[in-house]
Structure 1
């Protein structure tokens, strides 16, 4: 349950309105060409390999964030129940923001980063991936923060790292798929983009449910119960 939740959060982050429309821009830097010429990229294998490095870059940063949050939480282990309640409440607030029912001005301040200059010349794909993780946009922030909060409520450091690894994987799979489908990427993105408001609404609803379960400590209980069923 925990792993599926984290992986799904990664997928929802990719589909967020602040990330999905920028996919051609990121791929253009990776490919070393303009966004309009992506379909004419001379070597698809090069684009795919560079995208893999981009993915590795943001995965490293996300896992390091997970380690940091989990380490801090271990220092607060005596007050873990309070940490879970505060974290659950924050996740609900983030969910309300995603649905549009609550507007948090701070979360609309963009922190996007792209290197200046010619595409692919001044920053390697690995560095660009790290920059993507450090300067996440408002849309990915609430979802990532929710996973970080939940990871911080885990009993062990390993579980927190596993959650952030699965989150990174959920974000990585569609990125890599975009590189594979680079020839017709614009057509695919147009089909998905028109559904972004619905995706944001669903994302927010899932986050609010997750927040309530974390607050009441039912998510961990549910996960253990699901594990017993599988056995």
Structure 2
């Protein structure tokens, strides 16, 4: 069960990265944290990208710790909390897939990013600003993982889920930052498939929410071991 939870969290992070709200903006984020990317070496870009990832990972992990802490408080009501979490994740999936739209999920909360990214610490601050003011697509997927973290038995389990989520989002970002010139050339072709990616991601979230609601994630875990 632990392995499938880690896999789901990592996959959720990757889904956030390839969402239509994030992927097209990656070149802008990379350019912002590195300056003129065409004039910077790969090591410089790598260091700045890692700083950005560390920044949003700190915020996400703190969120996971908080979600697990409150989950432990409501441990007595865990069956009810799990069902409510499943319903909310299904709603997020319906929204992301486009099958239903909920205006409330379009709202964003932003904090000010540094006016200029002049060093590695500024990259971390920029990453924290990104996490604190996530876009709607990241918000629905992240909220699903936070809800799931809230159903975990221990604080460490919730933190681990958000570490895996951060890795799923951060590793592709770092790789893309290093090869940003190639990515920019491929962007027009990639962007054509983003609506389809969003729909498929939403369907995955719906399925996950249904399994969580009926407490059937163990079934998915057995299939995971088979493959």
Same fold (TM over 0.5): yes
Quick check: 1:190 aligned with 2:188?
yes
Q: 1:101 to 1:223 in 2, by over 3 A?
A: closer
Deviations 1:48-90 (A, max 9, x none): 1010011011111111100000000100000000000000000
Q: Distance in 1 between matches of 2:77 and 2:108?
A: 34
2 CA distance for matches of 1:151 and 1:222?
Answer: 19
SS in 2 for 1:199: helix
Residue 82 of structure 1 aligns with which residue?
80
Instruction: State whether structure 2 residue 98 is matched by structure 1 residue 95.
Output: no
Distance 1:75 1:198, change over 3 A: same
| 1:47 is the counterpart of 2:45 | yes
Give the Å deviation of 1:136: 0.6
**Structure 1 CA distance, aligned partners of 2:183 and 2:111?**
22
Q: Tell me whether 1:29 sits opposite 2:26 in the alignment.
A: no
Instruction: Give me the whole-angstrom Cα distance separating, in 2, the residues matched to 1:99 and 1:29.
Output: 30
Map of 1:160 onto structure 2: 158
SS of the equivalent of 1:120 reads coil
Aligned pair partner of 1:128 in 116, 126, 129: 126
Aligned residue for 1:11?
14
Instruction: Select between 19-28 and 75-84 the one with higher mean Cα deviation.
Output: 19-28
* RMSD (Å) for aligned C-alpha atoms: 2.0
| Cα contact 1:112–1:137 (8 A) shared by 2 | no
1:2 counterpart residue number: 5
What are structure 2's unaligned runs of at least 5 residues? none
Q: 2:106 aligns with which of 105, 108, 132?
A: 108
> How many residue pairs end up in the alignment?
223
TM-superposed CA distance for 1:145, in Å, is: 0.4
8 Å contact 1:111–1:138 — kept in the other structure? no
Report the Cα offset of residue 120 of structure 1: 2.1
Q: TM-score, normalised by structure 2?
A: 0.91
Runs of 4+ in 1 over 3 A off after TM superposition: 110-117, 223-230
What is the alpha-carbon distance in structure 1 between the residues aligned to residue 21 and residue 118 of structure 2?
24
* 1:191-210 paired onto structure 2 within 5 Å: 191-210=189-208
2: CA distance between counterparts of 1:103 and 1:229? 36
Normalising by structure 1, report the TM-score: 0.90
How many Å separate the matches in 2 of 1:91 and 1:71?
20
Q: Which runs of 5+ in 1 are unaligned?
A: none
Offset of 1:193 from its aligned partner? Answer: 1.1
User: For the residues of structure 2 that align with 1:217 and 1:210, how far apart are their CA atoms?
Assistant: 10
Q: Which moved more, 1:105-114 or 1:151-160?
A: 105-114
Matches within 5 A, 1:143-154: 143-154=141-152
Partner-residue secondary structure (3-state), 1:211: helix
